[in-house]
Chains A and B, each alone.
Chain A
Amino acid sequence: MTQLFVERFPDQARLVRLAFFNSFAAFGIGALFGLIQALHRTDVLRIVESPTYYTVLTAHGVFLVITFTIFFLVGLYQWAVTTSLERRPVDMRITKAWYWLMSIGTVIAGITILAGFLDDPPEVLGSQLSADVLFTFYAPLQGNPLFYVGLVLFVVGTWLAGVDWFRTWWAWKGDNPGARIPLPTFMVLTTMIMWYISSIGVAVAILAFILPWSLGLIDSLNPTLTRTLFWYFGHPVVYFWLLPAYLLWYIVLPKLSGGRLFSDPLARVVFILFILLSTPVGIHHQYLDPGIAEGFKYIVMTNTMFLLLPSLLTAFTVVASMEHGARQRGGEGYFGWLDALPWRNPAFTGMALAGLVFAFGGFTGIVNAGMNINYLVHNSAWVPGHIHTQVGTAVALTFMAGSYWLIPQLTGNRLVWRQAALVQVLLWFIGIVFMTNSMYRAGLVGVPRRTAEPQYAFEYDVGVGSMTELDFQLALGGFLLFISAMLFLAIIFMTWRNSESEPIVDGTIPPALSGPEDSPRVLDNLRLWIAIALVLVAIAYVIPLASIVTRGGLFGPDIGPFPVFTDPMILLEYGSKLIGMVVI
């Protein structure tokens, strides 16, 4: 058994632990808010007023899909680069800088969102301190400028992290001329290339339009433009969540199964495909948007379908590696080998269940991608159904399972309560089955997402089952997920405190069955892939963006801001104004 990560790189282990700490803190708050939402929507228990529901939902979205996922990503990637290159960052000050930039950004954005709970939020920078704009912050809904400032700092932090990893790699390359990029580092670098290309979109949306507009420096903006720039980033960001989970599936899962990765070359191809195809698809979130021609929507539909390829290839490699592992452990037969897998290991079982849910969720994603069927499900509860199977489970459960394997190596402590950890991953699986079953089916009968009270004057036409039953499943699923989340946090906390122990975990990663020498060197030519990716992005976006700007103008056809307040008095005023308008 080799030395633990924490022994080889104590300062790196500390940084990874810090990143994971932020990630898990956000996860805890997010899970609590998730439970509040599940109970509120179903009218089981409403502990907040319905207008405040949207403060909860904004925090749920931002804390989970920005803070939880991305802090886990930077922690994991710091670990991956350090172990696979066997070296520390070139300049640890940069490493600290990105960690603190991201943390400060999170705190600023977080405080701004949570201030929405106050009865009378203070005035900051000329407007009320709150940002009930959900994680998509579609203008002309307006949050306090600090919300956008926080997001910008956070994203700049991630950019700097990428620079950090690239520098480590360049330094390594200098010492190892001609060597192939180790697979984990290859995955980190390709993910970051995708991230640089795509996060430009949201950076432009915020810095050029939304932030100056929220500060009152410009009066108007073009909502179709900022929305399109958001989705230019908004689809690739889902791969930013997913790729660290892929890294764990490719690097750690085969080992946990008792074998080796099936094919290193194919893994590289998969990550390259993500660089190429993740970005020129964002308009598929805008199939129902006016102001965008049908032709552009059609192009992204085809691109999106091709984006299935890397995930289908991943399914193959992951299952093949698991089968190889099982056969190494003595498994036999067509399906009999499944028995030989280490199902008692929570890290393995968590990832395997996550993969299973991901496969199912992938099919629901194809439904979303179909530009015709999308009309039926767009913005219905079906969409959070999809979100929770994919990022909420494929990613989140993989991260939790991965933590059971990583945390001992990062702390030097033995994982506590292994049985409970197994229960935890199972509980998550069961919870997600109930919750998403309810969301998918409710979505098909037209129950909307992002709605505090999806109960209206009409009745939903629930073909099979009933609304009561669907609500029950949502509440039950949400409750199980919450319990599972708390159990996870407790296990991690106790493990972190469990310093009187020796971990029983082996951090070595065996080489792939088919190694990098089986693949052409061109796969490692990152410049080439960047160039092709940029061409594809240009093809998919230049004309649509130009058309949006020519139609509506860079700053829009005179669109005023619309700050969101939860203050009941202001609500009343709005109400009376509205009634006034209707009467007239």
Chain B
Amino acid sequence: MRIHVYERLWLVASMILIVAFIATVTYGTVGLGITMVDDREETLSPGDIDEDERFEDPRIEQVGENEFEAYVVAMTFLFQPDPIEVPANSEVTFYVTSRDVIHSFTVVGTNTNTMVIPGEVSVMTVEFDEPGEYGIICNEYCGVGHHDMEAELIVVEEDEFDLTELSVDAPDTVEPDAEIELTATVSNGLIDDLEATVTVEIGDETFQEDVTVGGDESEDVSITVDADDLGEGDHDWTVTVDDYEETGTVSVASDTDENDDGSENGEDTTDENDASSTVEDRLS
């Protein structure tokens, strides 16, 4: 075949260019040891998400010194959890799956970006050095509300980060001659111990107790108040642990008016007021 000299030169230059591109990309991926989104996770049917221990409760978990795992579920047209909070100076591995159609999990303006395909679990490890706030969006069309599908990613200062949960167990109504028992459960999702002060305010009284909650454990703090001391009527209570707060009301009432018609078995007093707070209703 007759090829003009210039053509030959161009051909050689083109091949060099192509090989150079391949080399650059190879270095930029394999060379730097960056792992791509791939098939390392088993498939997971959308119907089994609620039974899967990672995704039944979408959340952040600490798995190592500065290592976290985030289990995220995408669905029309939201992400769970939202917001996603992680500490600065950490390495977070995101596991993302979809409940329905194909979505994406995209941290805007970064290369943290993956398709989220129902039946598959996408895995991505991201390093967060500095505190900051990012938008998370779905950038694959997923239906009529696609443009509303967004969440927040908050990278907080390392020492401000916790995985604390507070829940309180207290009665709704008690007889004037009974005792009010209130139990606050503080759980700590971090690996390190959590030193915290549990403050309970009820009526005019305030109780404080210091607790140390071990890594991945929870502690109960109970206080008991005589209903008599508070007197008849409604009494607000507040439990605070660090930035978390739970509130409720207990009524001290003799079993008269409302309960006259037969329910004398005192069941009312055992009605419980369960409250729990997670990151969502945290005080700012």
Contacts and interface: CB of A to CB of B under 8 A. Distances in A.
Interface of A: 50-51, 53-54, 57, 132, 134, 138, 140-141, 222-224, 227, 262-263, 265-266, 286-294, 297-298, 301-302, 305-306, 308-309, 312-313, 316-317, 320, 366, 369-373, 375-376, 378-380, 445-446, 448-454, 456-458, 460-461, 514, 518-520, 547, 551-552, 556-560, 562, 564-566, 571, 574-575, 578, 581-582
A289 B25 CA distance: 18
A157 B39 CA distance: 37
Given A373-B28, A458-B134, A379 B104 contact: yes
B106 A448 contact: yes
Given A140-B118, A288-B114, 8 more contacts: A51-B144, A51-B145, A288-B104, A290-B37, A308-B21, A371-B29, A372-B25, A456-B108
A566 B144 contact: yes
Interface string B1-12: 111101100110
Interface in B117-150: 117-123, 133-135, 137-148, 150
Contacts of B44: 557
Contact of B143 (A451, A556, A562): A562
Contact of A450 (B34, B110, B141): B141
A378 B113 contact: yes
Given A366-B21, A519-B1, A224 B117 contact: yes
A454 B43 CA distance: 31
B39 A266 contact: no
A470 to B, nearest CB: 14
Given A141-B142, A557-B43, A290 B78 contact: no
Nearest to B142: A141
Nearest to B122: A290
Most buried by B among A138, A141, A222, A372: A372
A290 B141 contact: no
B55 interface: no
Given A309-B18, A451-B146, A558 B45 contact: yes
A446 B7 contact: no
Nearest to A570: B144
Contacts of A265: 1-3
Given A54-B144, A557-B45, A562 B101 contact: yes
Contacts of A50: 144, 147
A565 B143 CA distance: 8
A458 B14 contact: no
A454 B108 contact: no
Contacts of B139: 378-380, 448-451
A301 B39 contact: no
Contacts of B110: 376, 446
Q: Which 4 A-B pairs have the closest CB atoms?
A: A458-B135, A446-B108, A448-B139, A51-B144
Contact of A456 (B114, B123, B135, B146): B135
Most buried by A among B25, B30, B110: B25
A559 B11 contact: no
A290 B121 contact: yes
Contacts of A556: 119
Contact of B18 (A305, A452, A559, A564): A305
Contacts of B34: 372
B46 A559 contact: yes
Nearest to A523: B1
Nearest to A461: B109
A550 to B, nearest CB: 10
A446 B102 CA distance: 19
A514 B145 CA distance: 57
Most buried by A among B42, B80, B123, B147: B147
Nearest to A312: B14
What class of interface size applies to chain B in its complex with A? 35 or more
A371 B36 contact: yes
Contacts, number: 234
B106 A562 contact: no
11 contacts: A291-B119, A294-B36, A306-B18, A376-B111, A456-B108, A518-B1, A552-B120, A557-B43, A558-B119, A564-B143, A571-B144
Contacts of B37: 287-290
A290 B123 contact: yes
Contact of B100 (A266, A316, A378, A562): A562
Contacts of A308: 14, 17-18, 21
B152 interface: yes
Most buried by B among A298, A312, A458: A458
A372 B25 CA distance: 7
B237 interface: no
B76 interface: yes
Contacts of A294: 35-36, 38
A552 B119 contact: yes
Contacts of B104: 288, 379
Contacts of A51: 144-145
A134 B117 CA distance: 17
A292 B38 contact: yes
A241 B112 CA distance: 32
B115 interface: yes
B15 interface: yes
A224 B101 CA distance: 11
A313 B114 CA distance: 34
Given A140-B101, A574-B76, A559 B118 contact: yes
A378 B140 CA distance: 10
B233 interface: no
Given A263-B7, A372-B25, A451-B146, A578 B141 contact: no
B24 A370 contact: yes
B45 to A, nearest CB: 4
Contacts of B145: 51, 571, 574-575
B53 interface: no
B231 interface: no
Contacts of A557: 43-46, 119
Contacts of B152: 457-458
Contacts of B144: 50-51, 54, 132, 564-566, 571
Contact of A54 (B35, B112, B141): B141
B10 A223 contact: no
Nearest to A558: B45
Contact of B147 (A227, A293, A453, A566): A453
A309 B11 CA distance: 8
A9 to B, nearest CB: 34
B106 A446 contact: yes
B266 interface: no
B14 A313 contact: yes
Contacts of B1: 265, 518-520
Given A265-B2, A308-B14, A458-B133, A552 B7 contact: no
Contacts of A457: 135, 150, 152
A292 B18 contact: no
Contact of B115 (A262, A290, A380, A450): A290
Contacts of B115: 286, 288-290
A372 B42 CA distance: 24
Contacts of A134: 141
B264 interface: no
Given A313-B10, A366-B21, A454-B147, A446 B109 contact: yes
B119 A266 contact: no
Contacts of A379: 104, 106, 113, 139-140
B146 A292 contact: no
B41 interface: yes
